[in-house]
Chain A
Amino acid sequence: MSIRIQRVPSENMAGGLAARLIAIVLALSIAAIVFAMSGADLGKLGAHVFKSTFGSRFGLMDLGLIVTPLILTGLAVTVAMKVGAWNIGAEGQFCAGAIAATAVALFVPGPTILVLPLMFVAGAIGGMLWILIPTLARAYADVSELITTLLLNFVGALFIYYLATGPWLDPSGLSFAATKRLPHDVPGFWGDVHWGLPIAVLLTVALAGVLNYTRWGYEVRIAGSNPAAARYAAIPFRRHLIVVMLMSGAIAGLAGMFEVIGTTHRLQGGISNNFGYIGIMVAVLARGSAIGVIAGAALMAVILKSGIALQTQGVNISTVLALTGLILFFTAIGDELSHYRIVRSKPA
């Protein structure tokens, strides 16, 4: 009897989940060690984190507000992955969606009940336009969408900064780098948490259904996992690629729309808050499952909210970014390791 370690092409499900769990625990432990070494009182930090997340009504509401854009950006990245595309530009599409929705709010008069749907559509179209050029470049010239979508993130942030400090600056002079308070709100759902949250969840469930149980979804998944096989089966790879990437942009645009109309109520610099980048983490944690996006977003929302809460304790918010990177790193390694299995065999 000998024991060998063997690599298998498909990763095993339980291994993948365990890898995520270990990755998160490992990353958090490293963060804790760093905090402890820099002289922080871990017990006090932990208590503070708990109180400001699950321990209070306001904490829970904040989580609800943070999880909404994360579900949508995570969903955007996941959907693009389904067709084999890397949408690393959810951050930029988020900005574009926020800009488009703000434009409608500022310049289209009318009652909220009529303007709100218009803002919804504008947000989606904004995000879609932002990914249009990377999409066409990938589909027709095979230009890496990973880099083009990413570069547009910087353009999106600059665009918001330009609008919020320039032409759209609050005329009252009260705010320095933001538009005036927008005249319309997304209605409340639970306290401060607006209807964006249930809509994001519904959208996720609906898309999961479409991707898993329709012919179109099946074709998209085939096209994503093996373009050559898709072409052989007469599946229109290019068409699916374009449609799905535009969809991905639209979803990220909706995240921006809800953030500006429901949460910040003003267009201002830094509004995207790294939601687009953390969305990548959400998608990776979700392992391509649209439903998993909700769980991944919830987890990242807790981490992000903890980071925000710890700012009052002298912890830098960039810690969240570093921690996200650490989790992503360990998850990537864990994913690879879960391809291995131990085989017992009798000597030949």
Chain B
Amino acid sequence: MDLLAGLIQTAILAGGVLALAALGEVLAERVGVVNLGVEGLIALGAITGIATVVAVPSPTLGLILAMLVGLLAGMVFATATVIIRANQILCGLALTLMGTGVAAMVGKAYSGIPAPVTFAPIAIPFLSDLPLVGRALFTQNVLVYVIYLVLPFALHHLLFRTRHGLDLRAVGENPAAADAAGIPVTRIRFWYVSAGAALAAGAGAYLTLAFVPSWSEGVVAGRGWIAVALVIFAGYRPWTAVGAALLFGLITSLGFVGQARNWPIAAPVLSMLPYLGTIALMIVPVLAWQKVRRLMAAPAALGEPYFRDVR
């Protein structure tokens, strides 16, 4: 039973990175922009987080600065893809390369230093004493609750329960119609893509301040790409994305537990699990449930720049 509790605890902790990055990507893709720079944004956030706490021992400040860096990078990306309307895939790949490269350059000085302060787990009284899962669910750091409960609730409410959410989904489905209805397409796209990038960078700070918690080159290890895959898998819905992130966290934690318990499988092979699992989860549901496809469909104008004068 200890095994199960440990598995769930690690799954929740590991899934948090993916969940936060995926929520950011949901925002960008709902307004019709594919941001493939998530991997680079996580790297930027991760190094900003660690560099901040090494200078000033405040994880909260680290998170805030990381998100600011993400917001700035997101605004650069949005300027290129939304205002200039350059190819989103290329700009996203470029952002990934730049973010990964710059983070590695800056990170040289911080490599291997454990974060002096982190978001420490807090045991919630009574609940954490529950048998079996109490410790796993209720002895987590504060960000876990924000990522798994507060943010998806807020985003779901925003997207599906407010007038503004309707507007921004319209921008992602049919920008021409939205434009005709007086919705500011460019402005909405610009700010939601930037906000999504801030969340992705926040996921990076979570990685180095709550999960690992230190910086090393390659610490991001494809989590940004898994997050992008997960958004598709989750049908662009906040709650589903968070649930899927938990599932992926479980796959990751299986690898950790296997290593810790000396399963007769080599460590690098166990490390392949999240990637192989992601690929399987991208393919299987499409084959298994043809009917779900329409329900989980991408926003109709996803990836397409909007030109008012060209129809």
Contacts and interface: CB of A to CB of B under 8 A. Distances in A.
A95 interface: no
Nearest to A274: B97
A325 B282 contact: no
B84 interface: yes
Nearest to B269: A162
Interface stretch (A147-155, A183-191, A250-258): A147-155
Interface residues of B, number: 47
A181 B275 CA distance: 31
Contacts of B96: 325
Interface of A: 7, 9, 86, 88, 133-134, 137, 141-144, 146-148, 150-155, 158-159, 161-162, 165-166, 277, 280, 284, 316, 318-326, 328-329, 331-333, 335-337
A75 to B, nearest CB: 18
Contact of B85 (A143, A144, A336): A336
Contacts of B307: 7
Given A325-B94, A332-B86, A332-B90, A144 B282 contact: yes
Contacts of A332: 80, 86-87, 90-91, 94
Given A7-B309, A325-B96, A162 B268 contact: yes
Given A144-B232, A151-B278, A316-B108, A137 B101 contact: no
Nearest to B268: A162
Contact of A151 (B89, B232, B275, B310): B275
15 contacts: A9-B310, A86-B89, A141-B287, A144-B229, A148-B282, A154-B221, A159-B268, A323-B101, A324-B97, A325-B40, A325-B96, A325-B97, A333-B84, A333-B86, A336-B84
A159 B268 CA distance: 7
B104 A316 contact: yes
Contacts of A165: 268
B282 A137 contact: yes
A76 to B, nearest CB: 15
Given A133-B279, A151-B278, A155-B275, A326 B86 contact: no
Given A158-B268, A325-B94, A335 B87 contact: yes
A277 B282 contact: no
Nearest to B80: A333
Contacts of A146: 36, 89
Contacts of B188: none
B87 A155 contact: no
B47 to A, nearest CB: 11
B222 A151 contact: yes
Nearest to B89: A86
Most chain A beta carbons < 10 A, residue from B36, B97, B271 = B97
B65 interface: no
A322 B105 contact: yes
Given A150-B225, A321-B97, A333-B84, A158 B269 contact: yes
Contact of B286 (A142, A322, A337): A142
Contacts of A331: 90
Interface in B69-109: 80, 84-87, 89-91, 93-102, 104-105, 108
Contacts of B87: 332, 335-336
Given A325-B93, A329-B95, 17 more contacts: A9-B310, A133-B283, A137-B279, A154-B222, A158-B271, A161-B268, A162-B269, A316-B104, A316-B105, A318-B217, A319-B101, A329-B80, A332-B80, A333-B91, A335-B90, A336-B86, A336-B87
Contacts of A324: 97, 101
A153 B276 CA distance: 11
A284 B90 CA distance: 9
B266 interface: yes
B104 A137 contact: no
Contacts of B282: 137, 143-144, 147-148
Contacts of A323: 101
Contacts of B278: 151
Contacts of B232: 144, 147
Contacts of A7: 307, 309-310
A162 B269 CA distance: 7
B228 interface: yes
B226 interface: yes
